Chains A and B, each alone.
Chain A
Amino acid sequence: MNIRVTERIGILPRHSILSLGGSLAAGLLAISSIFIIFGVNPFFAFAKIFSGSFGSIYGIKETITKAIPLILIGSGLTLAFRAKFWNIGAESQLLMGAIFGTWVGLNWGPHLPAPVIVPLMFMAGFVGGALWGLIPAILKVKFSINEVISTLMMNYICNEFMKFLIVGPWRGKTKHGFPYTDDLPASAILSLIPGSRIHYATLVIAIAVVIILGIAVYRTRFGYEVRVIGENPDAAKYSGIDFFRTTVIIMIISGGAAGLAGVGEAAGIHHYLSYPESISSGYGFTAIIVAWLAKLNPVNVIFSALFFSGILVGGDAIQISLGLPAATVQIFNGTLLFFLIMGDYFLKNRVTLQWREEGN
């Protein structure tokens, strides 16, 4: 038996749908085996995840709440990934956004009304995320430093910096010595849709970002330059596209979008800064899969973000009701990403099995 691999020429929509469906199915199959190892009926577990995330009003509200940061970060990442800038640092760009936003909220919030302070916080958050994203962009274009390494390492720097802030100078006077900042003043706290944790201001911003990026990628000069750089950097250089400028703008947008998500988490959910892992719970990494599942199309990000936030929420549900370990959700996500990337391979190549030797 032989395996033949040939490049697929002319990819049709049905191929894309088939590869997406196939890889999701194969991924779920692999995850099933993990459930079986834990002695849990996989169908029961999937049903639980689904009913936990989409099966009740409460579940749907939670799913939307967790989709907000994923939409923001994921759509920003589609832009960076399209230009083949592998931004693995969205997690810390989110945290920087939270830090900047919280600083503005804590210091200016007491003196300003909500309609003034909230936009200021979002602006500060955008700037924080953008600055943190800008550093690896400059390192890459000016000094050819690999962005995968630098963005990843920036995550650790930001983590430690944030811990330093909450343990040291920013530790709240009202927190009885716990390593948290003080609560944000009431004007700086995002209002929620009643009966839920959906901080709608951030949701509106997220949808706006998606629309803007959707138009930017496919309709603007900037989007054109991003696509040319991603497809062929040599041709981009030949055509006089300014690498430095374009990469910087890409990372300002990608980091800034993550920073906006950070403000949403800090001011909408937690109301103060605490340990990095409780502020973000890995949204910056999950968003990588979100962007990938969306095939780097910002508009698709809304759906893939809901899908993965559903898994996060449903994962909490099965943790509680089936007693599975907390890492189950991460295994779930990792396995799916693995199969999605594999699906891409089968989309780009035709693989056929040849059962007998020909010509004998």
Chain B
Amino acid sequence: MAKIESLEMKDISKSFQGVKANSNVNITIRKGEILGLLGENGAGKTTLMNILYGLYQPDSGNIRINGKNITINSPMDSRNHGIGMVHQHFMLIQNHTVAENIALGFEKTPLFFPQRNLNEKILSFAKNFNFEIDPSRMVWQLSAGEQQRVEILKALMNGADLLILDEPTSVLTSQESRDLFQNFREMRDQGHMIILISHKLDEIIELCDRVTVLQKGSIVGEAATKDVDKKSLARMMIGRDIIFQIEKEPMERTEKVISVEDIVVKSDKGLDTVKNVSFEIFRNEIFGIAGVSGNGQRELVEAITGLRRVEAGKIVMDETDITNETARCIHDRGIAHVPEERIKFGIAPGLCLYDNAILKQHHKSKYSSSLFLAYSKIKQHTQQLLSEFKVLAPSINIQTKNLSGGNIQKLILGREISENPSLLVASHPTYGLDVGATEYLRNQLLKRRREGGAVLLVSEDLDEIFELCDRIAVMFRGEFMGVLEADDQRLEDIGLMMAGSMRVTD
């Protein structure tokens, strides 16, 4: 197959059940270019790229490579044409190792002992791109960030000329993103092309040569990135100006809500993943945990919310020991949880909105007697959640999986906040959300703080951490490298702390 010199998508239209996801979209990308695809959630970016990757077929329009029409009926076709894609939601087989997952999609996989022969190749590739990857680990043991790296590596190893990346940096630290971008630039200079789907304006401006902006399935703007700035891009994308600076008023910490004392938590693999971590969170405070995912954040959160055993140490809330209580008991005591992978943990996708609006709360007396659920009250509560938290949904009777990611997250957050919890634990709450939804969610977290709630925020997005948190802990390999006030000068070295090369003690 000849190398791709140029690729065009012409007049692509695609609708799902009468809803137009793409209408007459045209994009062109040439050799040695990085094209940004910008737009809010539900703008049709991912649909467009799924068409290019062969996951969907367009209703009309066609795709040309080097000026010739081609048909792409499946991802296999598209890979044969030299197109690779890294999805936002990972397409990895959880029960297989990293090497096995890579072997699956890899053309040059030897017939016998594929893992063994591939290991070396994977390691050399990984080294090349500065990824820390153990090919023999099971995918389900990897954090979101690590899984993303496997996906990128997989596409790179398949030697794609055109690489499509759906929100690739959402789970990377800024340092990692910079390294990744450096790799992308090198690839571009060697004649590869890259399509980057993103909500992040900085990223688009920093990395891309050109940007195409989608809104409600149509192209609303195209520009060379050197001619535009953040403000004008944002306006193009959502059709209005947005406030980038979220206002956080100074606030005194009041009474203590929770104290975590020297806890040790094991990973699924049985290793100590959280090692003697201690901290306290107060009312009117957002406590942030920064760090690359996979350093024990998930295990820590699960231990606090009752989903994972605490091996040693204790967790005390309002003078009561809640260590190793059940998830329901901990929830009833006032710890709400916005989980890390919202579709995997936060909702039952096939059930209606009103069923999901009471997940975790269905046992409470206001929604149910000892036997029956009070559906009229539940539906009323759901309506209220939708309007209060600005969830866009045609009706409360639809299956929850039909909502966009942002709306699902608003529903989950609304559900968790509506109980007025003493402590809200939020893991990567804005991961993969568009600017509008992100802004909304962050303001909601600040509102919790204003109203006297305590918030534990786990995030890899440093902007988010700096914007919202009163104190920031940096986690590395299961330990806190330091807990600092948000105005501490030493936070300039947060990158070093995240990499484990600096420890700050008071």
B306 partner, pick from A219, A220, A240, beta carbons under 8 A = A240
Nearest CB of chain A from residue B80's CB, rounded to whole Å:
16
Q: B312 within 8 Å of A by Cβ?
A: no
Q: A10–B402 contact, CB under 8 A?
A: yes
B337 CB-CB contact with A under 8 Å: yes
CB contact under 8 A between A238 and B350, given known A4-B57, A9-B17, A224-B362: no
- Looking at A258-266, A319-327, A351-359, the stretch in contact with chain B turns out to be A351-359
Q: Contacts of B326 on A, CB cut-off 8 Å? A: 240, 242
Main secondary structure on chain A at its contact with chain B? mixed
Q: Which of chain A's residues have a CB closer than 8 A to the CB of B60?
A: 358
A358 proximity list for chain B (CB < 8 A): 60, 62, 71
Cβ of A221 under 8 Å from chain B: yes
Known: A9-B402, A358-B62. A238 touches B375 (CB 8 A): no
User: Do residues A240 and B360 form an inter-chain contact, with CB atoms below 8 A?
Assistant: yes
A238 and B351 contact, CB distance less than 8 A:
no
In the bound complex, CA of A14 to CA of B467 (Å): 51
Q: Kindly identify, within residues 332 to 348 of chain B, every residue whose CB is under 8 Å from any CB belonging to chain A.
A: 337, 339, 344-348
Is the Cβ of B360 less than 8 Å from the Cβ of A239? yes
Q: Quick check: is A278 within 8 A (CB to CB) of the other chain?
A: no
CB-based contact B327/A240 at 8 Å: yes
Whole-angstrom distance between the alpha carbons of A219 and B345 in the complex? 24
B350: chain A residues within 8 A (beta carbon): 231-232
Kindly provide the distance from the CB of B77 to the nearest chain A CB, expressed in whole angstroms: 11
Assess whether B349 is in contact with A220, with CB atoms less than 8 Å apart: no
Q: Roughly how many angstroms separate A357 CA and B72 CA in the complex, as a whole number?
A: 10
Q: Which residues of A contact B73 (CB under 8 A)?
A: 2, 4
Among the 9-residue stretches B118-126, B365-373, B458-466, the one with 4 or more Cβ atoms under 8 Å from chain A is: B365-373
- How far is the CB of B424 from the nearest CB of chain A, in Å? 15
Q: Is A175 an interface residue (CB 8 A)?
A: no
Known: A224-B373, A357-B71. A240 touches B328 (CB 8 A): yes
Q: Which of A222, A231, A238, A354 contacts B57 (CB 8 A)?
A: A354
Asked if A220 meets B373 with Cβ closer than 8 Å, knowing A231-B351, A238-B327, A240-B328, the reply is: yes
B224 at interface by CB-CB < 8 Å: no
Contact A231 B360 (CB under 8 A): no
In the bound complex, residues from chain A placing their C-beta under 8 Å from that of B368 are 221
Bound state CA distance, A220 and B351, in angstroms?
15
B301 → chain A closest CB, angstroms: 11
Enumerate chain A residues within 8 angstroms of B370, measured Cβ to Cβ. Answer: 221
A220 and B344 alpha carbons, distance in the complex (Å): 24
User: Are A219 and B373 in contact (CB-based, < 8 A)?
Assistant: yes
CA distance A331 to B403 in the complex (A): 43
Q: Is A360 an interface residue (CB 8 A)?
A: yes
User: Does A237 reach chain B (CB closer than 8 Å)?
Assistant: yes
Q: How far is the CA of A81 from the CA of B43 in the complex (A)?
A: 38
Interchain CB contact under 8 A, A238 and B17 = no
Q: Is the pair A238, B16 in contact by a Cβ cutoff of 8 Å?
A: no
Answer whether A237 and B344 are a contact pair too, CB < 8 Å, given A4-B57, A9-B17, A220-B372: no
Q: Is A227 an interface residue (CB 8 A)?
A: yes
Interface string of B73-103 (1 = CB under 8 A from A): 1000000000000000000000000000000
| Cβ–Cβ < 8 Å partners of A220 in chain B | 371-373
Shortest distance between the CB of A16 and any CB in chain B (Å) = 14
Q: Which residues of A contact B62 (CB under 8 A)?
A: 358-359
B331 within 8 A of A: yes
Q: Is the CB of A239 within 8 A of B17?
A: no
- Is the C-beta of B56 less than 8 angstroms from some C-beta in chain A? yes
Instruction: For B329, list chain A residues within 8 Å (CB).
Output: 240
Chain B residue nearest in CB terms to A238: B345
CB distance from B354 to the nearest CB of A (A): 11
B328: nearest residue on chain A (CB-CB)?
A240
Residue of B nearest to A357 (CB): B71
Most chain-A Cβ atoms within 10 A of its Cβ — which of B306, B339, B348, B355?
B348
CA–CA, A231 and B352, complex, Å: 11
Residues on B with C-beta less than 8 A from A225 are 362
For chain B, residues 304 to 320, give those with C-beta under 8 angstroms from any C-beta of chain A.
306-307
Instruction: From known contacts A10-B17, A232-B348, A359-B62, infer whether A219 and B372 are also in contact, taking CB-CB under 8 Å.
Output: yes
Instruction: For chain B, residues 358 to 402, give those with C-beta under 8 angstroms from any C-beta of chain A.
Output: 359-360, 362-363, 368, 370-373, 375, 398, 402
How many of chain B's residues have a CB under 8 angstroms from any CB in A?
40
Beta-carbon contact of B56 and A359 below 8 Å: no
Name the residue in B62, B337, B344, B372 with the highest tally of chain A Cβ atoms < 10 Å from its Cβ: B372
C-alpha spacing A235/B345, complex, angstroms:
4
A242 to B360, CA, bound (A): 11
In the assembled complex, which residues on chain B have CB atoms less than 8 Å from the CB atom of A222? 371
Judge whether A228 and B349 touch: CB under 8 Å: no
The complex places the Cα of A242 from the Cα of B327 at a distance, in Å, of: 9
Q: Could you tell me the distance in whole angstroms from the C-beta of B38 to the nearest C-beta in chain A?
A: 25
- Kindly state the separation between the CA atoms of A4 and B69 in the bound complex, as whole angstroms: 19
CB-based contact A239/B327 at 8 Å: yes
Q: How far is the CB of A233 from chain B (nearest CB, A)?
A: 9
Smallest Cβ distance from B119 to chain A, in angstroms?
29
CB proximity of A50 to chain B, nearest CB, Å: 37
A residues 198-245 near B (Cβ < 8 Å) are 219-222, 224-225, 227-228, 231-232, 234-242
Complex Cα spacing A6 to B16, Å: 9
Among A4, A234, A239, A354, the one with the most B-chain Cβ atoms within 10 Å of its Cβ is A239
B348 partner residues in chain A, CB cutoff 8 A: 227-228, 231-232, 235-236
Cα A354 to Cα B375 with chains together (Å): 45
Assess the B347–A232 pair: CB atoms within 8 A: yes
Contact B17 A234 (CB under 8 A): no
* Minimum CB–CB distance for A255 against chain B, Å: 21
**Complex Cα spacing A219 to B368, Å:** 10
Residues of B near A240 (CB, < 8 A) are: 306, 326-331, 360
* Known contacts A2-B73, A10-B17, A224-B362: A234-B373 contact under CB 8 Å: no
From A241, A242, A359, residue with most partner B Cβ within 10 Å: A359
B146 CB, nearest partner CB in chain A, Å: 19
Contacts of B373 in A (CB 8 A): 219-221, 224
- A4 to B337 CA separation, bound complex (whole angstroms): 40
Docked CA distance A10–B351 (Å) = 13
> In angstroms, how far is the closest chain B Cβ from the Cβ of A329?
34
Q: Give the docked Cα–Cα distance between A160 and B80 (Å).
A: 57
* Cα of A354 to Cα of B73 in the assembled complex, Å: 11
- Cβ contacts under 8 Å, A234 to chain B: 344-345
Residue in A227, A242, A359 whose CB lies within 8 Å of B351? A227
Flag if B327 contacts A237 (CB, 8 Å): yes
Q: Tell me which of B351, B398, B402 contacts A228 (CB under 8 A).
A: B351
Q: Which residue numbers of A lie inside 8 Å of B, CB to CB?
A: 2, 4, 6, 8-10, 219-222, 224-225, 227-228, 231-232, 234-242, 354, 357-360
Give 18 A-B contacts (CB < 8 Å), ordered by A residue: A2-B57, A2-B73, A6-B57, A9-B16, A9-B402, A220-B372, A222-B371, A228-B355, A231-B350, A231-B351, A232-B344, A234-B345, A235-B345, A235-B359, A239-B328, A240-B306, A358-B71, A359-B71
What 3 pairs across the A-B complex have the smallest Cβ distances? A240-B328, A359-B62, A231-B348
Besides A10-B398, A221-B363, A232-B348, 18 other A-B contacts (C-beta < 8 A)? A6-B16, A6-B57, A9-B16, A10-B17, A222-B371, A224-B373, A227-B348, A227-B351, A228-B351, A238-B359, A239-B327, A239-B328, A239-B359, A239-B360, A240-B328, A240-B331, A240-B360, A359-B69
